[in-house]
């Protein structure tokens, strides 16, 4: 009785790696351990894939 589309489902991708930044409520920005703003390190963002469009988001379906 499984809907047709679910025949094509696969396990959702998960971000296994912990992000190397934490939210600073004073700055209202995520900062790296050395104090730099994470959004300023585009190479890091590319590497982490945290700005990437994904499928299987638990809370958001607007990819």
Residues that bind other proteins (CB under 8 A): 1-14, 19, 21, 23, 25-26, 28-30, 37-40, 42, 45-46, 49-63
Taking the CB of residue 19, how many other CB atoms lie within 10 A of it?
A: 13
Q: How far is the CB of 34 from other proteins (least distance, A)?
A: 16
Q: How far is the CB of 31 from other proteins (least distance, A)?
A: 9
Q: Tell me whether residue 26 or residue 35 sits nearer to other proteins (CB atom).
A: 26
Phi, psi of 31 (to 5 degrees): -125, 150
3-class DSSP assignment, residue 4: helix
């Amino acid at each position: 009785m499984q809907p047709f589309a679910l025949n094509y489902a696969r396990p959702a991708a998960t971000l296994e790696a912990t992000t190397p930044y934490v939210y600073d409520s004073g700055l209202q920005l995520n900062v790296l351990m050395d104090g730099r703003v994470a959004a300023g390190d585009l190479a890091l963002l590319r590497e982490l894939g945290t700005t990437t469009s994904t499928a299987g988001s638990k809370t958001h379906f607007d990819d």
